Structure formats: structure tokens, C-alpha cells
Structure 1
Amino acid sequence: MKKNIILISLILLAAFFAGCGDNSEVIETLDGNKITVNSFEDTYNVAIDAMSRVQNIEKENLLEFISKDIAEVPEQMRALNYQFQKKNFYDQYRDMMITTIAAEKEGFTKRDDIKKILKFQEMQIVSQLYVMHLVESKIKISEEEAMEECQKLRAKEPQVGSLPIDRCILFARAKLKKDKSQEILPKVLERIKEQVSIKHNDKFDLDAFLKRKITAPTGTEKKTETAPSAEAPKTEAPKTPGQ
């Protein structure tokens, strides 16, 4: 989950700086950077869409979990419910913007080590979103399949049995999507590799290189300056009975 939060955070930052310039009402101005109604709503929707993709959750199901009271949501989904309440999301978003602006003012994002980290994280985002895009494009779930799966879930799980038929079908689609994704994923990854020309250097012993042990730098070696492990303020989801 933490890895996905990092990916979502990077997407939010990109959405914010890409969206500065609309003419909607200004909510706040942070060092000259405007948070407008449109930019916030767009970023909120982007975050939901991104979370839906990286968590492989049907967007309709995610929106349903967000709209419920936290006590009504399954325990494993409560963190998402809390995160995407608009008040909580705005606070997190605002803190992230303030921290990013402060980091840029100090030249933090211009450091070579930080540029390398950002480049690596960008590669992770692109690869993960691209793979999920290809997987989702190959998933087809008919009404008959969804209804059949709904009936199976009703027979196995009492909680699903008490749901209205439309919500049961939503859960059924989510289950089918997850199952089909796991089946399709290896084929998609193989197809991606086929599209890229790969040429190995026969003179390079890759196995020997990868077996080398990682050693810590000695005191005489020049060490890269590291930044304090400070993060933007975060608020934990409240505990509810049963947690």
C-alpha cells in the first residue's frame, strides 16, 4: 500500500502543476500557486482514477466505499475511505503542495540524487499504469457472467447475499476483473517484451555482476548528502469498533 501511496502522490503533484491556470474560483494561494476549485476537483478525480488502476479496484466500487460511513466499510478498505473524504484529501493535498513548494525553493528537486529518484519513480508509474491499461483493455465481462458470479457470491458469502442485486453485480464484476487480470497479466507482460528489441552483450558476465555483494561506502569515500526523512503532516484514520 505504501508503494502505491507514493505513486499516487507523484501523480497528484503532476496534476497540480499541470492544472495551475484555470479561471475557476481560487480556494487558496500558496506562494503564488493557486489552488482553484477546478484544479482541486480535477486532482481529486485523477487520484480516484489512479487508485482504481493501481489497486485494480472497479471505480464504481471505490466510489461506493468512499461514499459510505467509515464504520460501514470493510476493514481493509477503511484507509481508502478515510483518505478520500474530501476534507481529509484536501488537507493531505495542501500539505503536500506546501512541502513541495518549500523543497523547490531550497533547490531540493534540482539535486542529482533527487532527480534520479524522481526518474525512477516516474518509470514505475508509467510501467504500472501501462500494464494495467493493457490488461483492462482485454477484459470483457458480459451481463450474463456478472449475474452468474453474483449468484455464486450470494451462495458463498452471507454479506453479499443481503445486498441489492445492482450492488451484488458490482462486487461480481470486481471479482471477475481480479481473476481475469491475474490470468491475462503474464500474457500482457510477454507481449510487451516482444515489442522491444533486446540485445545482450555476450562479453558481459551478467550473472557474476548480479552476484556481487552490495558494500557500504567507506569513511574515505565521498558520501552523497541525504535529506532528513521528513514528510508532510499526515492524519491517521480514526479507529472504529472492531479495529
Structure 2
Amino acid sequence: MGDYQEDKPKKRSLAGNVAIGLFVVAFVTITVAFCTPSWLVSDYRITGAKLDRFGLWVHCFRSLQNPYTKDGFFVGCRWLYDPFTTGYDKIRGYLMPDFIIVTQIFFTLCFISVLLGAIITLIYFLCFGPDQKQFLLLIKLNAFILLAGGISGAIAVIVFASLANQNRWMPGHENNFFGWSFALACIGVVLVLVTSTLFFVDLHVQKRKRRLLAESQSRFEMEPEHKGW
């Protein structure tokens, strides 16, 4: 009976515990990056800069001239789909070249994956244990969802980093640089991929513990027969 108690698995492995901690940080960084408009920013010391801040969904300009008609200026921060500012819908194509759309799509997929991961991680932390039948399936599902989210996020930040500050797009590109929202996105993507890896490690550890437990139970059940002989 003592062998059985010793082999009984703990609720989570070290990899699982570390994965939870890193996931909390990843969740915060991805969420903040998704919602804030400082992916591309202008040097605040440049007084004549057109751009102030540029995010996935909110754009802030100091004085952006209509790139098509040259007859108006856009000042201040606006949601990308702002229906109230006259003429803003006309420059949406300028504000959303193909690479921005790709970045939005893949980082949204990353954000959705992290939201799903948050639900599964809470269930893993609060409700499930190794003795429950679907415990391994829960860890496996979380690991694959976060892996998909991390890959999607990596595509988003690579595309944005490669093309967002190119010539012939946002005016004053020589004075623009990647902001703290983009930095958080990069950090969050790395943490999501690391968290996914740790959940895969946890899955391997829990499988091994379950196998050792089964072997221990088999030995325990066979002992009385040998003693009887």
C-alpha cells in the first residue's frame, strides 16, 4: 500500500506550474498589445510629424493629409472603422494595405487562441486532476491551441516588422519606430510558444506518472497471489 501512495501522481508537474505562471504574463501582454495603438509611433521630438501612433484598430495622427484628394487633414485618434468622421472611410484602403490586414487576421487568431487557452488553463488549474479521465486530453488541447496561437502571432509580428516602416506608406517613415505595443506583442508571442512547449512537457510527465501508477497497481494486485502460493 505504501508503494501505491508514493506513486500516486501530484496534481500538476513543475512544467505545468511554470506554464500557468508564464501563461498569465502571456495573456496580459497579448491582450494589451491587441488593444493598444502603439505598434508604430513617431518620434515625439519631430514637430512636423504626420503620425502620432498607429495600432491594429486605433490610429492617431498629428496632421495627416488626405493621401488621395490632398484637400483635408485628419488629426487625433480614431477607431479604424469610425463612421462619424467625414472622409475617414475614403482613406481606409490607404490605412489598411494588405500587410496590415494580414497582421490583423493572424494576431486576432493569436488573441482568440489565448482567450481559449485562458478558459482551459482555469479549468486545468481549478477543476481537473490526474485522477480524472479527460485530464490528459485537456492538457493536450491547451498545448495545441496555444501552439497554433503562438504560430499565428509570430506570423503577425514578422509581417508587421518587415513591412510596417517601409518607404512609400506612412509619411515620415524615417522618424517612425516600433512602439511598446509591438514590443509587448513580440514578448507575448514568445511566451505563448514557451507556454505551449511546457504544456507538452507536462503532458509527457503526466502520461509517465499515469503509466507508473498503473504498473504500481498491477504489482500491488499481484502480491496477495504470490503470498498465497
- Normalising by structure 2, report the TM-score: 0.26
Q: Which entry has the higher C-alpha Rg, 1 or 2?
A: 2
- Normalising by structure 1, report the TM-score: 0.24
Q: Which has the higher strand share?
A: 2
